[in-house]
Structure 1
Amino acid sequence: MTVSFADSIGLHAQSLMLREKRGEIIASNIANAATPNFKARDFDFESELARATGDAGLARTDARHLGGTFAEGNLGYRVPLNSSLDGNTVEIAVEQMEFAENTLRYQTSLQLLNRRISGLMTAIKGE
């Protein structure tokens, strides 16, 4: 049975790209914490990973079908725990916690990807 390189690292690579995108979105939320009427954005990581890896129920039946790792339209608005008088929904404590968790998971995904590639290199060398 032949396994392609993309198949062997696919989940980890997709996870890494989605974690990077989520980090950018959360960083944007933090940067706009003092902007009046700014609405904090985020997306559901698990559903986006399932969609990106093909587990979302819709199959690509033709190579010309659109793929990708993140659908910009799947961004949602974070519901604030405490409302702000200026209409801003960024809660800095929540955003910092989400950013820290996402960073930790990004580093974990990177380590898993590195180990997977190292394992493949060992198999290729025949060691």
Structure 2
Amino acid sequence: MSIYGSTISMLEQGLNFSSTKGKAIAQNIANIDTPNYKAKNVNFKQTLQDVQQQSISAYRTNNLHFAFGSKVSQPGVSSYANFQYRQDGNGVDMDKEQADLAANQIYYNALVDRLNGKFGTLQNVIKGGR
């Protein structure tokens, strides 16, 4: 059993998701003037639903235990293939991208603050409360 439980691991996964989403938003903004470019998105809700429909592999010690599968999913980046925002076929809405970037930055900063709090608590325990 770990000292901090699974909290730090979950925060790390949240940071990875936010980082992937930030890269997709940055790529969209960078390609604002590229003809026929389709905007990309990282959708956490869709990724979570995909994972919930899949199984996790595990060792069964008894035949009465539930069986597990072996499918694992990686969060993915999807694109809006049929969406066209401008006449040249570009599918990037700059206002939406800037709003998504701001929301993602707030989410990322909240995760970093929480992670710093966890490490601060561990540091306090290691020092004996001094």
Q: Report TM bin, short chain.
A: 0.7 to 0.9
* Percent identical: 27
Which residue in the other structure is 1:13 paired with?
Answer: 12
Bigger Rg, which one: 2
Which residue in the other structure is 2:87 paired with?
Answer: 85
Match of 1:59 among 53, 56, 77: 56
Q: How does the TM-score come out when normalised to structure 2?
A: 0.73
1:121–1:58 Cα change, 3 Å: farther
Which residue in the other structure is 2:127 paired with?
Answer: 125
Dislocated runs of 4+, deviation >4 Å: 65-68
Alpha-carbon distance, 1:77 to partner: 2.0
1:15–1:9 Cα change, 3 Å: same
Unpaired runs of 5+ in structure 1?
none
Name the structure, 1 or 2, with higher relative contact order (CA <8 Å, separation 6+): 1
CA contact (8 A) 2:20 2:42 kept: no
- 1:58 counterpart SS class: coil
> Structure 2 CA distance, aligned partners of 1:108 and 1:117?
14
**Higher helix proportion:** 1
CA shift digits 1:28-87 (9 cap, x unpaired)? 000000000000001112454x58xxx73522427xx7868x43xx3222475x731111
Aligned length: 116
The one-letter code sitting in structure 2 at the alignment partner of 1:112 is R
> Structure 2 CA distance, aligned partners of 1:47 and 1:119?
34
Which residue in the other structure is 2:117 paired with?
Answer: 115
> Structure 1 CA distance, aligned partners of 2:8 and 2:41?
26
1:6–1:33 Cα change, 3 Å: farther
- 1:103 counterpart SS class: helix
